[in-house]
Amino acid sequence: MHRIMKNVPFLGVAVLFTSLWACGPAPANQPVGLVSPEGTNRLEIYLDAQGRPGYRVFHKEAVVIDSSGLGFEFRDQPALMGGMELVSQSGSAGDETWEMPWGEQRQVRNHFNETELTLKEKAALGRELKIRFRAYDDGVAFRYEFLPQEGVDSVIITAEHTEFQLTGDHTAFWIPGDWDIYEHLYQTTRVSGIDALSRRNHPDLAATYIPENAVNTPVTLRADNGLHLSFHEADLTDYAEMTLRVDPEKLSFTSALVGSDRTGYKVRRALPFRTPWRTIQIGDRAGDLLASRLIENLNEPNTLGDISWFTPMKYVGIWWEMHLGVSTWDMEATQDMNTFSALDKKQMNKKHGATTANAKRYIDFAAANGIKGLLVEGWNTGWDHWIGFEDREGVFDFVTPYADYDLDEVVRYGRENGVEVIMHHETSAAPRTYEQQLDSAYGLMKSLGIHSVKTGYVGKIIPKGEYHHGQWMVNHYRKVLETAAGYEVAVNAHEPIKATGLRRTYPNAIAREGLRGQEFNAWATDGGNPPEHIPIVAFTRMLAGPIDFTPGVFDIALPSKPNNQINTTLAQQLALYVVIYSPIQMACDLPENYEGQPALQFIREVGVDWEQSVVLDGEVGDYVAIAREERGTGNWFVGAVTDENARELEIDFGFLPAGQTFKATLYKDGAGAHYRENPKALAIESAQVTSDSKMKVPLAPGGGLAISLMRE
Ligand code: NOJ
Ligand code: CA
């Protein structure tokens, strides 16, 4: 559907709310008001007595973000932090419905009111700045638009000062504002207790840099009255990522952009340009955040057109065996996942994972179970010079297979069996080496009929001084996405830049990591992901976009890793296929661990592309239950996970279409199930349900529930 934007004469009524200003600078002028279509959220935008722009946000007439200032500092110009006046203001509204080529739901409504303010500096320079605000019923957003400046062709931003003044010491679910990696465990503290610097020097992270007490986004807050807020950004294009500096006394966040030691600044842009959107999602229930499509709505429509060459799928991979330390990425078998270091071959006594024979074994397993993809890591030369090596430029080769891996034959055998190979490109954080080979690497894929790639960026970025989340790398990740699209290749990036809804514009951005994935359970020295991990991730990281979490470990005790185990029950591993959204979902365990397991039936059946999704219930950090309807079949799937606490889940099947009977298969935590003591206790039950059915199902500590609902 086409976008409908209409100009409306004057949107929100400009009213003076002098008596309501709780704290902070009072507006010098009448504030401009902007109200969401249903009136749920309201913005007031003003210039304070110093001529600095600011805003406040109301949710159902309660202040949820108090007076917050806006502004910038530059390298070669005075700061724009005040001395401005309002030149013009105009309102508009949008209401369109667009279709996701794959997603949590097919139809997305993008319904908002907008106001655009043009501000002008009163001093000699007379610089102009536009700020565009949008009010949605699920949140608010704004972005800056830098206008042309006489005699100046580009600006260098050294700091962005976008404030978010909270109204209380809310409970925060946060990871540190690391410039290199998102793979931290979420912490739960009051805003006043956020201490990002205490998360420095994590032993399991190959690159981490946390320069100040800031958090990364999405960061989700719960106020004591139950209100939920989540802060993030949308359309991160040619700009540095935004982290949020914490002021534990003022109880506020201020944008802190990721920088570069090479250049000493944050962002350099030719004029005119616009920044990413700064977003605040607002919900009365935790589940409202999950249902919000605000982030995607703030991105441009699909520029790729038809991408039917990519189909959502489940996949297996020569992958978990390396993380378990059973086999290696490098053919020489000298690199050890357990120690992240090169060892003497004799000491290792390991074997190369990516061999032709092993790939065929996985293909046979996939084909027998209706799984459409096979990822093969460690297939190309360069892995003997990976972790622990500083000089990684020019090392990885993305077209040359190891001698014991016959790429053509594996692709052919896969095709014969209905399984497509997924390419793997570990860049070892040497993006220039990768960029030099993009065309040849994707050209090879195209010639083989391979339509997706998993990329990786483990280690410190080369050149030194750049960080994974700075403007330079933001542009690299974009270049990869755009180049890949030209070869009909979809990208699943690990160690990525965070998702900001660009999958709408580039639907070949199918999934990414950008969190502590399942892999940490195999080798983390801190005991792995705790049971509360997913109940937090669902309401934080997942608001940004699809997650390649790699669920499906059945051999939960990890016998080859005496110091590690998965901190979930088997039922929870199944539930992850529904709870975590991604158009690609791995069945990550070794084929031999699935053999003869009745629970495998759920992985065979579960959908990967959805007509609609319904959040049934949930609390951040405690539990979450989601129902999703599969596209094309009308079958439904339910997934629920809980933290370390057992609880009883009440399911109301009212989400099902009325008048139809479904055959339900329930994969429940069995008697005595417990994520540590008895993770594999599973009970599989059948029932007939309709939209009138209700059920109470116990979840074990660290447990879960998966249900398939097949139309009769
Ligand atoms: C880190 C990724 O997250 C993981 O999935 C992959 O196996 C390794 N890098 C090697 O590329
Ligand atoms: Ca990773």
In eight-state DSSP terms, residue 403 is: T
Interval between CA 406 and ligand 1 midpoint (Å): 22
In the block, tokens 């399991």 appear at 204
Interatomic CA distance for residues 711 and 662, integer angstroms:
5
In a domain, 9, yes or no: yes
Catalytic residue among 519, 532, 611, 630: 519
Interval between CA 481 and ligand 1 midpoint (Å): 19
Among 498, 515, 667, residue whose Cα is nearest residue 578: 667
Q: Which atom of ligand 1 is nearest to the CA of 329?
A: 10
- Secondary structure element (H or E) that encloses residue 570, with its range: helix 570-579
Interval between CA 19 and ligand 1 midpoint (Å): 56
In a domain, 286, yes or no: yes
In a domain, 236, yes or no: yes
**Cβ atoms 517, 497 nearer than 8 A:** no
Ligand 1: residue of 321, 375, 379, 426 to mutate (most ligand atoms within 8 A of CB) is 426
Among 561, 515, 566, 569, residue whose Cα is nearest residue 540: 515
Interatomic CA distance for residues 700 and 679, integer angstroms:
9
Residue 519 known to be catalytic: yes
Q: Which atom of ligand 1 is nearest to the CA of 550?
A: 5
Exposure on the CB side of residue 583, measured as CA atoms within 13 A: 24
- For position 1, what pLDDT does the model report? 34
Question: In this structure, which residue's CA is closest to atom 6 in ligand 1?
Answer: 456
Q: Which atom of ligand 1 is nearest to the CA of 495?
A: 3
Write the CB contacts of 91 (distance below 8 Å, at least 6 apart in sequence): 7, 8, 9, 10, 11, 12, 34, 113, 114, 115, 116
Tell me the residue type at 81.
M
Interval between CA 456 and ligand 1 midpoint (Å): 6
What is the tally of structural domains in the chain?
A: 1
- For position 337, what pLDDT does the model report? 64
**Cβ atoms 706, 667 nearer than 8 A:** yes
Ligand 1: residue of 323, 519, 550, 584 to mutate (most ligand atoms within 8 A of CB) is 519
Strands 128-136 and 107-121: antiparallel
Ligand 1: residue of 329, 376, 377 to mutate (most ligand atoms within 8 A of CB) is 377
Question: In this structure, which residue's CA is closest to atom 7 in ligand 1?
Answer: 319
Interval between CA 461 and ligand 2 midpoint (Å): 14
Q: Could you tell me the residue range of the domain that residue 17 belongs to?
A: 3-297
Measured from CB, residues less than 6 Å from any atom of ligand 1 are: 319, 377, 426, 456, 458, 494, 513, 519
Which CATH number goes with the domain that contains 172? 2.70.98.10
Q: Which atom of ligand 1 is nearest to the CA of 319?
A: 7
Interatomic CA distance for residues 258 and 94, integer angstroms:
32
- For position 330, what pLDDT does the model report? 93
In a domain, 447, yes or no: no
In a domain, 698, yes or no: no
Ligand 1: residue of 319, 324, 494, 553 to mutate (most ligand atoms within 8 A of CB) is 494
Interval between CA 183 and ligand 1 midpoint (Å): 12
Question: In this structure, which residue's CA is closest to atom 3 in ligand 1?
Answer: 494
In a domain, 50, yes or no: yes
Question: Looking at 166-223, which runs of residues are DSSP E strands?
Answer: 171-174, 187-190, 214-215, 219-222
In a domain, 223, yes or no: yes
Question: Looking at 489-590, which runs of residues are DSSP E strands?
Answer: 490-493, 509-512, 584-586
- For position 345, what pLDDT does the model report? 46
Interatomic CA distance for residues 31 and 42, integer angstroms:
12
Interval between CA 489 and ligand 1 midpoint (Å): 19
Q: Which atom of ligand 1 is nearest to the CA of 424?
A: 11
| Number of other CB atoms surrounding residue 684 within 10 Å | 15
In a domain, 467, yes or no: no
Which residues does the chain have with pLDDT short of 70?
Answer: 1-29, 336-349
Interval between CA 519 and ligand 2 midpoint (Å): 7
Question: Looking at 61-169, which runs of residues are DSSP E strands?
Answer: 62-69, 72-74, 84-99, 107-121, 128-136, 139-146, 154-160, 163-165
Interval between CA 639 and ligand 1 midpoint (Å): 26
Interatomic CA distance for residues 102 and 556, integer angstroms:
31
Rounded to two decimals, the pTM is: 0.95
Round the CA-based radius of gyration of the chain to a whole number and report it. 25
- For position 545, what pLDDT does the model report? 98
What are the residues facing 317 on neighbouring strands?
375
Exposure on the CB side of residue 378, measured as CA atoms within 13 A: 28
